[in-house]
Structure 1
Amino acid sequence: MTKEELYAPIREKYNELRWALEGSDIDTIIECALEVHAMVHPAEISGKTEKTIADYVLDYMLKGNQNKLVPREDYDVDLHYAGTRTVPMCWQFWHTYRIEDLVSNFLMTDQEQIFNEKWKRKIGSSITDTGNALELDEVIAFGKEINIEALHDYLIMVGKNTRNILKNLTLEQVKSKVSYENVMRILEEGGVTTDFRSIWLLVYWAGLTIGGMILTPMTDHHMMHLPPCLNNLSILDE
């Protein structure tokens, strides 16, 4: 298959989600959000049988390729505020699912995040934050410490939790912004660091509505980080 064939259905459904979020039909918003979320996450999370982009990358990573170095993104979005433009493949999953955990729980629903000291020990991570500010040598060392099976279990739990949150959102929540106190909880609980390459995330998230969080951390953010990993696989036609 070609990249266009792989990405076109996601783009189409993502555009439907954007249009839905401009309206007031909460059932359509939730339906579109769940569909796009399913398309950019492993099928195990949504219960679908057909492999997703995330499945292809995850399968490859679980076969001993967690430390294969890849571009952080295919196009510049937040690279001006990044410690390195090259990361091990496992960092892509750590980064995207730590952000999804933090945003969905602290900002979208005001509840506890899934990640805790127990998960930190199981995964073998030296950090609790999203890893934005790590330099190349630091991110390589980080990748070598990771228990990839435990990271897989974590991301599956995060994704399933997000879907439960999405199913129960009200229109009022979708249109609202979060409180300053909830944004700062992420810093207080180690989700970001005080390094400017990390803490800028709080400024960005504070400016979003919950609908905006659905469009970025929950969905499109994954499509920023999955494509450069997919480029290493044989499923794409030249």
Structure 2
Amino acid sequence: MKYFGNGLSELHKELNTIIRKADKLEEAKTLFFELHSKLHVSSMTGAEQNETDSLLGDLMPSEYRIMPTSKDETIAWVLWHIARIEDLTMGILVDRGGQVFDSSWKRQMNVHISDTGNALSDDEIMELSAGLDMKELIAYRNAVGQRTQDIVKSLSADDMKRRVSAQGLEAVKQSGGVTDQEESLWLLDFWEKKDVAGLLLMPPTRHVILHLNDCGKWKQHIRDNKKCFRRA
């Protein structure tokens, strides 16, 4: 069931059909910016209010930190996860530079990990969720989103077909973006198979649509006063 993202899958499909066509480069970028902006709170671009604002804008601090069922994570974990993956893939793999995340952001967000959170246990997810400063996490995600848009503006048609490099994947690992656990390391194998266009179609777009839809589902579960598995 769809809880978030009305019309976004259609935009994504349209982007997928043109993103590797050299003569459609600027059209593809415009479409990417439209889609990507809708997946961030409007303060990231200064655009009009959107569905992400509606999803996150009225959440109580405690609602970020609820694990609705034993099969779920928390909204706090999702926002951390999608921000870290976008930061690592866009900054290191696409731009071949660095990431936004640093010791200052780590301190401001009050986190003790640097990776994407893929391998965390339920206890570790709850610990992360309980400690995260949500205002700073959203500010970090905004900074990542702004940098993504700057990176995409500079891409050429040739860039879109450039494969992810072994050096980039090693840089992600060395940065602490993934851990040595199998549930985390598989990300490197997944990204290794991508070109730049493939990355744009997943970490900052499709991946986010799926996770924010989960957040919409969980928000409804919580607001319907249904029994929840764990609360921080």
TM over 0.5: yes
CA deviation profile, 1:46-83 (whole Å, cap 9, x unmatched):
3211322x222322445442202246xxxxxxxxxxxx
Task: Tell me the CA shift for residue 211 of structure 1.
Answer: 0.2
SS at match of 2:201: helix
* 1:182 alignment partner in structure 2: 168
Task: Tell me the CA shift for residue 22 of structure 1.
Answer: 4.0
Does the 8 Å contact 1:133/1:195 carry over to 2? yes
| Larger deviation, residues 114-123 vs 54-63 | 54-63
| Larger deviation, residues 59-68 vs 147-156 | 59-68
Which amino acid in structure 2 is aligned with residue 158 of structure 1? V
CA distance in 2, matches of 1:7, 1:149: 23
SS at match of 1:152: helix
Does the 8 Å contact 1:101/1:158 carry over to 2? yes
Does the 8 Å contact 1:69/1:88 carry over to 2? yes
Does the 8 Å contact 2:76/2:134 carry over to 1? yes
CA distance in 1, matches of 2:72, 2:18: 35
Does the 8 Å contact 1:61/1:89 carry over to 2? no
CA distance in 2, matches of 1:97, 1:228: 15
1:231 is aligned to 2:217: yes
1:89 is aligned to 2:75: yes
Does the 8 Å contact 2:20/2:160 carry over to 1? no
1:36 is aligned to 2:22: no
Paired residues, what number? Answer: 220
CA deviation profile, 1:129-184 (whole Å, cap 9, x unmatched):
00000011111111111111111110111111111111111111111112101111
Question: What are the within-5 Å matches in structure 2 for residues 50-199 of structure 1?
Answer: 50-52=49-51, 54-61=52-59, 63-70=61-68, 85-199=71-185
Q: 1:114 to 1:153 in 2, by over 3 A?
A: same
**TM-score, L = length of structure 1:** 0.86
CA distance in 2, matches of 1:103, 1:3: 27
1:222 is aligned to 2:208: yes
Does the 8 Å contact 2:166/2:192 carry over to 1? yes
The 4+ residue runs of structure 1 with deviation greater than 3 A are 60-64
Q: Which runs of 5+ in 2 are unaligned?
A: 225-232
Q: Which runs of 5+ in 1 are unaligned?
A: 72-83
CA distance in 1, matches of 2:40, 2:144: 10
Which amino acid in structure 1 is aligned with residue 44 of structure 2? I
* 2:9 alignment partner in structure 1: 11
CA distance in 1, matches of 2:60, 2:15: 31
Task: Tell me the CA shift for residue 86 of structure 1.
Answer: 2.1
